[in-house]
Structure 1
């Protein structure tokens, strides 16, 4: 899915309705980069769809919004959706690259 551009100075891109994102994590393409956008617990999260380990497409792995984790399909690296930190080896310092997302008028937008 490609995000819809909202033509203002903040470079915001419509992902979909909040209802759609709550029902299923979304992967959107913005300016040639893919982003995973999802709701987990009380949070709305957006990350570049790239594992910091070896560049794997994390959204193609397991996105567990109940446990608040995403697992890269290439090597099983697991990340916390609340902040993007590596769940097992915090000394590595590897984090998913996070993007800002907001809800406005019932729609979810990425701000880049």
Structure 2
């Protein structure tokens, strides 16, 4: 068996609001409750298990998307008036990047997690 990522925990100040935010902006299926988690499932079967947490460190989550999905997600980001950046340090607001021959952008979730969408994996 090859090693694959199955799930990761996403700490949140408000589990339900965070899960709903991810589902809404990324255009995913509703996130069911499983024990203490809201399970946001990605198309490759990996899940983001959103958990209530007192302390929430800012983490980074990157999503590889198609060109069409990029346009849809970017549109939802703009519709919601969310600030986005072309770079992970948030120095280029309102721009996207064209790194590695694709497109990418960063935005923050309600917990300060740095979210990223890219259309081409790093290194092309």
* TM-score, normalised with respect to structure 1: 0.25
**Higher helix fraction: Structure 1 or Structure 2?**
2
Q: TM-score, normalised by structure 2?
A: 0.24
Larger radius of gyration: 2
